[in-house]
Structures are given as structure tokens and as C-alpha cells.
Structure 1
Amino acid sequence: MEKYFIEIPESELLRIQQNIWDHEYVDAKLKTANQKCSIKVALRGNQLREHKKKSYHIIFDKPYLIYGQHEIHLNAEYNDPSLMRNKLSFDFFESIGVLAPHSIHILLYINNVCHGIYLKLESFDQFYLRNRNLPEGSIYYATNYDANFSLYTPEKKLKLTLEDGYTKKYDFQKDSSLKRLLIVINTFPKEEFIDEIINILDVEKYLMWLAGVVCTQNFDGFIHNYALYHNSKTGLFEITPWDYDGTWGRDLHGRPLEHDYIPIEGYNTLTARLLACPKYRVLYGEFLHQILQTQFTVQVQKPLIEKIHHSIRPYIHKDPNLKNELETFDGEQEYILRFIRARNKYLVSKLDSLIKL
């Protein structure tokens, strides 16, 4: 497992760890086996900031790019007793043809003190696109729960602006297409919506993403925990997952989540409008059926789970938050496999009724 060493003045480290709701970046140094660079570092996440084991956002300063990336995220995975749910999810999404960030586990040292096992994630930004030879395009982050593709907040209050809940991460040619997407979703009558949505959204990729969220059962994934990419070549929006530690049978706090907690139709306004169209409902059912047969199975996922587990296990004792949790950690393999069996069976049982409605 690769080691990351961050050197930061103790006074600055103490400041960001005590003032957890500040968004200020501090200067630091990062050293790996192959690189030495100057960075800016800050805490990341929402409720994650309150945990003893913090997550960090790193921006490369000098040099500006490392392996084609300008930013990375170091996730503590504090509430996930397996430490693998995020990575397992992103790898799963990639396997079904959905854009997802690359991830790898590392050991993080800060001022020569081991802070434990972290998941390093690449940022979903313009460099992500360039590294994959994808067309440029604006990128929007779903910053909070108001990013539900609706005119109203989850509390049923009218939003102040259409773009409430979103932050533009990368602006390509002063793009305003997000507003157009939200107008189509929320104001067009059924037939006009069906005719127009294909001109602004890659519907097939969205439905494939929906199938991925429904399988992994990320409750927040429908109104949060995603980013939108407006492909300048196709003129269509694509969607990518983010923060998937609350999946595979547990919620974002690490608590057990029943396998049938999320219905086969999922949530959010856009999903509801698409699935109200018979042809898209059938197409979604076909995608889901294929995934349940070929990807979301114990046979396919078990060796992947075992590989991740075996790569992490030798380093559990180095994590001060996990060194006494080896039995729990080991038990998570079977826990996730039980979830896959039960969730697959549940979704298969709902496929016929999904298509017939």
C-alpha cells in the first residue's frame, strides 16, 4: 500500500482540526514514493468533519499537476467498517459504463504520525475529462440536498433559484445549460418533455446511473452525491456518482440498512418524469435486468470484494481508529455479500411490475 506523507506546521494542523467548519486551505508539503510537492490542504465533507479521523482535500501547488491531476481527495471512510464501500461502488459504476472517479487505498502520515488507511480519490473536474480524452464541458457539483432536479427543496419549500443545490466546478464557455435542463424537467408537459429531454440529457447513461444507485442503495445518491457533466461534443448532460460510503447494506452513518429500503424506481423529480414514459421505463428495466444478471451478483462481486479486503487487511493495525476492529472488518465481506444476494433477489422480484406500470 502506498504511503502519503504530509508535512504541515503543527499550529496550522491544530487550527484546521479545531475549526472544523472553516473552509480555509493551509500550505503544506506532500511526499510519496515518487513525488515531492507543495500543496494546499483543507478538511472536506459535511458530517465527516466532526469525526476524530478527518478527511482532506488536497490541491497541488508546485507542481500544478501531478499525473495529470490538480486536486485529490483523501477520504477517511470513518463510518464504513469495511473501508471499501466507496471504492467498490465506483468500480461497479465503471463496470456498467458510468463515469466514476478512480480510487486507491493509501496510508496517510501527517507530521510522521500515521493517521490510518485512507481512500485517495481523483477529483471530477476538467482534468478528469482530459485524462480520459473526453470532450470539454461544464461540470456541476450537487452540493446539497436541494440538487433534487426540482423547483422545491426536500422540505417542500420553493427554491430561491433554479440552480439551488449546485456549484459550478468548471465553467466551459460560460455555459448556462443547467438552467435549461431544470426548466425542461419542471415546466414542460409530458409530450414536450419526452421530445425535448433527449436534446439535453443522455437518457440512456442517466438510466444506467439510476440502475447503479438502485443496486448499491445509496439513499442520498438521488438528490446529492453526484456531479453533472455537460458534454460539449454531444450537447448532453451525463452524471457521475460521488461519496458512496453509505451503500451495500449500510447508511452513511454505518448503520445497517434493509435490502428493500429503496424502491426499484428510485427517487427525484427527473427520475419520476423519465419513468412515467413507458419506453424509458422499459429501457431502465432492461438495463437493470442485464446488470442483475451480469454485474450485481455474488459471483462477480465476491472476488472483487476479496481483493480489496486482502489489500487493506495487513495495514489495519496501523490505523489508530481500527486497530481493535479486525473482527468487525473481517465480517464485512460476508455482510456485503448477504446484501448483494438479498438486494438482487428483491430487485428481480420487482422487475415485472416495474415494466408493466
Structure 2
Amino acid sequence: MKKWFAFFGLTLGIFSVFGIAFYLVPSQSSTFNERIELENQNEEKTQEGKNEIIDLYLDVREESLSYLYSRDRFDDNRIDGTVIIGDDTTKHQTEIRFRGNSSRGLNKKPLSLRFDKPKDFIFGGTHLNLNAMYTDPSLMREKISLDMFHDLGLLAPKTSYYNVYINGIFEGVYLSVDRIDEHMIAFTGNNPRGTLIRDQFRHNQHIANIEVSSIFNFDLNSVENKEEFLEQTTSYRNNPNWEAFMELQEWVYETEPGAEYAAEFGNYVDIPSFMDWLILHFLIADVDAFSDDYWMYLDQDDPEAKWQLIPWDKDLTFGAHYRSEVGTGNHYFAYESPVNSRFGNKLLEKFLATPEFRDMMNVRMEYLMKEVFTPNYFESKVAELSEVLLKNGEHTAEQSFILHRKNSIGEPEFEDYYKENLLDFVELRYQYLTQYLGGFGIEENHTSLDVSNVVKGETLYLTDQKGWVIGKIEVEENNSADNLSISIEQSTLSNEIDRVWTIQTSKGSLSGTLTLYYRNDTGWIGKENWYMEDTPTGDQWYMQLAEVMESSEIRTIPSYINPYSNKVVSLEILELKGTQQFLIKAQ
């Protein structure tokens, strides 16, 4: 981890040519590295727990349990119960309620367990948050996301898997995510008395009778009692330093992006950790975080301390997407979320609109993609967590799913497809981000590549100027081909995917495995729905690759399809020569 921050310091130094002295103050860097070392030591102590699913046995009186699941789901009054963890027979008194917001409306309910005193099994905390992961059929997205923040030494909640049994019935695999409070802060070696504030303006707009969605887009001088107003419109823990937060908020609101913003930002916010926090959200495509899915921390006892951001709520990441007509994250696949801010969060918008910071961010993003969070990193994470999830209690419990129908919106027989979908997201998201770093153009649904120097074993991504990957070729042989282009047009030749892919190879030929990608989303990002049914997967399982021959005959090609990734892959080596047209159609 230290070498990544050393690189970051070098990057900051490079951009001092803008006339702004960015650097890591030695004392701050030393303190930061000491914290990383302490967190690593704590992580080692809990490594055994990280690499297994912990059994949690929750006992609740039947009438209380029935009341919990039949009352208004937003009722936060707690009911009594007892908890046993693993093989330890100790019974811990607890109080239970549902947690979350929209997730309470899903079939599998997230749970909040509160204890009357600190517990070792939650690392000295008093709250155990159990996320249901119902919208994530891989059961990995939130875990991998938060692990990435830890791998960069950033402040982030810890996670652990639990097999949850309620009154002896297995009710699913849950992910515990540390409550962000003084216990979590102390565990990371930071000052537990520090300020913790969460921007909840989006949900408290009625208080000020205004329409802005972030506290950083509000004129705080327009209210008479600023501290009282912040207490009403934010979430907070401990005894916050409201004066320090007001100073940050007012500076952000009043300062325009540009040289002044760049020169003074580091007086308030820790630049390296903030930039990595921001970049990681772009890598995993979690733009919801820019509204209220983060906490801000300041060690108010240290006069040199700067604000740090703590990630929160990572269920809709790695391609999970939201559609209003469905009402929750689901199988619709998205990887093209833009590299910008949403919800009027001026803290982020102005940072991204400042050229000095944007340039630094782009350099750092490219480094993290190529050197840290590589495809191998994600393949290893998926393999590791797959081994952990083999201990899913569903496979061994005598009775399962009385309160909850199943673990997630997914189906067990498609488990490998869900994991592949997660890895496909990384592959395609990185191509989108690579196009962003090179500069977006206006041409879409068409691209052309010089393939004259391409050799066996290389992978060609056919990405248009908007960042969408039209196709992919895993090269087996290059027989003097020098250029290859691909384009997509609407077509009536297929009743399933109303498009035709045209590939043109100049001179010679190129042989390899061909993958075609089709869009299956009509979300706010603005993509078209090329699959002709309204359901996310429907009959896509029966579609395959096909080629339109010169005689207009359509030749089907043995192929493999993953509807969750919107892709079809040839199972035979194809020779690409001259002009050819391909379809995706039913068998």
C-alpha cells in the first residue's frame, strides 16, 4: 500500500508545475502510514473471520417475530432477542429491527442488531448491521467494493459473511458492514472522539423547503441558526465540530472551481485519500455515493487533521442497475455511468471541474487500473469469495427460508453466470474508462482498429468513441490483416436482437474467438433496449451467434451466451475476412 501513496506523492509533485504546491506533509504521511500499519495488524487478527462464513443463531419469541415482519417496515422500534455466534454457546441479549431504506421493501430484509455493551465478535462495537444482499445474486459486490478501499489504506467499514438462522431456520447469507461510529474509527487507529457527519440533505429537503439535494449546494448563510439547521439536515455521531464543518461547507459553496479551489482545497480535505475515494467509486460505477452514501470524518483534536470521506452502502455496484418500473437493482446490466458527480454535490462537482485536480485524477485512475486493481485482482477476489460462499448454510440446513424466500434475486443454477457478469463488468468498465481517458468522441456504434501488428494471444476490444464495447476478438492467428472495423445498424433479420454487426477486414484475414455485446437497458444513462422483450433475461438463453451468408442464408454458429452480461461468444474459431455480417438470434 505504501508504494501506491508514494506514487501519489510523485503525481502530486508532477502537477506542482501548475504553480500550486501539492505535497504530502511528512508528519501527515507518517501518521497515515502508522494508521495503515495498525489497521493491517488488526486485519491480521481478524483474518480467520474474514475468510469464512460465521454462523449466527438468532432466537426471538414467535409473536414478536410475527409482529416484526407484519408491521410497517419503516417502524424502527426494536424487539428483543438473543444471539449465539458460531460454536460459542454464550447467549447475547440483543434488540432487532429492519434497517436500510428501499431495501426494506425487498423480500429478504436487512437487519440491525443492537447490544447493550461492546462485543468482541463485532470488534468492540455495539451494533451489528446485517445487509441482505438481495439485489446481488453474486453475493460479492459490496464485499469486494469495500475491500478495495481497505486495500488502498482508506477509512472504510469492515465486512464479514454470516449464515443467519432465525429460530433454528436458515434465512440466508448476510454481510455484516461495520456501523460507522466511534468503535469503527477506534479500530482503524483513529481518534474515536472525532467528528462524523453524513450529508442527508437529499432526504431532509422539506426542512428548508428547497429542492437541492446536497448540503454543499446550499447557502448556509440564508439560515439564522446554522448549527441547529445542520443538526436537522445531516446525520452525525459523537459531538461534532460544527464550526469546522460549517467552514468547509461555506468555502465549498462560495469558491469557484479553478486555481483558487485547487490551491485551498488541501487546507480542508486530505487530497490523496479524497481522490482515491472518488476514483474507486468511478471504477465500481457507484454514482449513488455522491448523494448521501458516505460519511465525513475529522480528527478534531488534531489541528493539522483534514477531512476524510468514508464509503457506505455499496450494494448497487459492478453493473447492478436500477429501473423505476422494476423498483430495485436487478439483472439489467450497466457499465457506462459517467465520470462526473450527481445530486448537485458541489464538493465533488467543483473538484472535478478544476483542471489541476482532473488531470491528477486521470493519471491516478490509469495507474490504479493498470497496477493495482487489475483483472487478476478481481479474478482472485471472485475465486476467494467463491470458496467462502461454498459454506452457504442453504446447502446444509435442515430447514430454510420461512421468512425469506431465497438468498437473492438470482437462482443457484446461474451462479457461475453471475460471477462471470461481475468480471465482465470490470472488463467493460475499464474499456469505457480507457476511452474516457483518451477523450470521448461523437461517433458511436462504429470503430476501426489497426491490426497489422496484432499477434496470437492478444485481445482486441472494439470500443466506439462513446466508450461502449461493440465486440471483442481473442486472436488466434493474424494472416496479414492490417485493419479491422465493426459497425452496428438496426435490422429486421432477427426477432430477438434487432441489430446486425458488420465486420470488415482489409487485406488478409484475422482468426479468433468473437464476442458480440448487445444493450439491454433503458435507464437514465440513455441506452437503447436491443432485446425485444421487457424482461431482463427472458428467452435469451436460446439465442446464439449467426452469420449472414452471401446467399442471404443465415448460418448459426455454436456459441455461448450470458444474458446478464449481454454477450454472445463463438465456440469455434472464426476467420474474419472481407465484409461479414453477424446476428444474435434464437436457435
| TM-score normalised by L of structure 1 | 0.89
From the superposition, tell whether residues 21 and 322 of structure 1 become closer, same or farther in structure 2 (CA, over 3 Å): closer
Q: 1:77-116, aligned counterparts within 5 Å? A: 77-116=133-172
- Residue 60 (structure 1) aligned with residue 103 (structure 2): no
Q: Which moved more, 1:10-19 or 1:341-350?
A: 10-19
- Residue 168 (structure 1) aligned with residue 236 (structure 2): yes
- Cα distance in 2 for partners of 1:58, 1:93 equals 25
From the superposition, tell whether residues 177 and 152 of structure 1 become closer, same or farther in structure 2 (CA, over 3 Å): farther
- Residue 12 (structure 1) aligned with residue 89 (structure 2): no
CA contact (8 A) 1:218 1:251 kept: no
Quote the residue 1:244 is aligned against.
Answer: 314
From the superposition, tell whether residues 322 and 60 of structure 1 become closer, same or farther in structure 2 (CA, over 3 Å): closer
Secondary structure, aligned partner of 1:64? strand
From the superposition, tell whether residues 322 and 328 of structure 1 become closer, same or farther in structure 2 (CA, over 3 Å): farther
Secondary structure, aligned partner of 2:310? strand
Quote the residue 1:74 is aligned against.
Answer: 130
Quote the residue 1:216 is aligned against.
Answer: 284
Cα deviation, residue 314, structure 1: 4.2
- Cα distance in 2 for partners of 1:229, 1:223 equals 16
Q: Which moved more, 1:318-327 or 1:110-119?
A: 318-327
| TM-score normalised by L of structure 2 | 0.55
2:419 to 326, 333, 351: 333
Identity %: 23
Cα deviation, residue 279, structure 1: 2.0
Larger radius of gyration: 2
CA contact (8 A) 2:262 2:357 kept: no
- Residue 47 (structure 1) aligned with residue 102 (structure 2): yes
CA contact (8 A) 2:173 2:407 kept: no
Q: For residue 58 of structure 1, what is the amino acid of its counterpart?
A: L
From the superposition, tell whether residues 164 and 340 of structure 1 become closer, same or farther in structure 2 (CA, over 3 Å): farther
Cα deviation, 1:256-286, whole Å, max 9, x if unaligned, reads 23211x2223443212211222221122112
Cα deviation, residue 113, structure 1: 1.5
- Cα distance in 1 for partners of 2:276, 2:391 equals 35
CA contact (8 A) 1:27 1:41 kept: yes
Cα deviation, residue 153, structure 1: 1.9
Cα deviation, residue 255, structure 1: 3.5
2:354 to 277, 283, 289: 277
Quote the residue 2:326 is aligned against.
Answer: none
Cα deviation, 1:164-190, whole Å, max 9, x if unaligned, reads 752012225x54322222211111244
Quote the residue 1:188 is aligned against.
Answer: 255
CA contact (8 A) 2:262 2:356 kept: no
From the superposition, tell whether residues 239 and 73 of structure 1 become closer, same or farther in structure 2 (CA, over 3 Å): same
- Residue 304 (structure 1) aligned with residue 381 (structure 2): yes
Cα deviation, residue 145, structure 1: 3.4
- Cα distance in 2 for partners of 1:119, 1:105 equals 5
- Cα distance in 1 for partners of 2:297, 2:218 equals 25
- Cα distance in 2 for partners of 1:309, 1:216 equals 19
Cα deviation, residue 229, structure 1: 0.9
From the superposition, tell whether residues 212 and 163 of structure 1 become closer, same or farther in structure 2 (CA, over 3 Å): farther
- Cα distance in 2 for partners of 1:6, 1:342 equals 41
Quote the residue 2:77 is aligned against.
Answer: 24
- Cα distance in 2 for partners of 1:14, 1:175 equals 42
From the superposition, tell whether residues 24 and 322 of structure 1 become closer, same or farther in structure 2 (CA, over 3 Å): closer
From the superposition, tell whether residues 297 and 152 of structure 1 become closer, same or farther in structure 2 (CA, over 3 Å): farther
Matched positions, count: 349
Cα deviation, 1:202-236, whole Å, max 9, x if unaligned, reads 12211111100000011311112111111232431
Secondary structure, aligned partner of 2:115? strand
CA contact (8 A) 1:77 1:245 kept: yes
- Residue 3 (structure 1) aligned with residue 55 (structure 2): yes
- Cα distance in 2 for partners of 1:341, 1:163 equals 43
CA contact (8 A) 1:71 1:123 kept: yes
Greater percentage in helix = 1
Structure 1: runs of 5 or more not aligned: none
Cα deviation, residue 64, structure 1: 3.3
Cα deviation, 1:28-60, whole Å, max 9, x if unaligned, reads 211112343111221100111112211111111
1:263 to 331, 338, 363: 338
Cα deviation, residue 163, structure 1: 6.7
Q: For residue 311 of structure 2, what is the amino acid of its counterpart?
A: P
Quote the residue 2:546 is aligned against.
Answer: none
- Cα distance in 1 for partners of 2:201, 2:140 equals 24
Q: For residue 240 of structure 1, what is the amino acid of its counterpart?
A: I
From the superposition, tell whether residues 300 and 335 of structure 1 become closer, same or farther in structure 2 (CA, over 3 Å): same
- Cα distance in 2 for partners of 1:185, 1:201 equals 11
- Residue 203 (structure 1) aligned with residue 271 (structure 2): yes
Secondary structure, aligned partner of 2:321? coil
CA contact (8 A) 1:226 1:241 kept: yes
Q: Which moved more, 1:232-241 or 1:313-322?
A: 313-322
Cα deviation, 1:66-93, whole Å, max 9, x if unaligned, reads 3311212001111111111110100012
CA contact (8 A) 1:146 1:223 kept: no
Quote the residue 1:178 is aligned against.
Answer: 245
Secondary structure, aligned partner of 2:118? coil
CA contact (8 A) 1:147 1:224 kept: no
- Cα distance in 2 for partners of 1:170, 1:328 equals 45
Secondary structure, aligned partner of 1:339? helix
Secondary structure, aligned partner of 1:145? helix
Cα deviation, residue 158, structure 1: 6.5
Quote the residue 2:187 is aligned against.
Answer: 131
Secondary structure, aligned partner of 2:305? coil
Secondary structure, aligned partner of 1:17? helix
- Cα distance in 1 for partners of 2:364, 2:238 equals 30
Structure 2: runs of 5 or more not aligned: 1-52, 224-228, 323-328, 441-587
2:428 to 322, 331, 342: 342
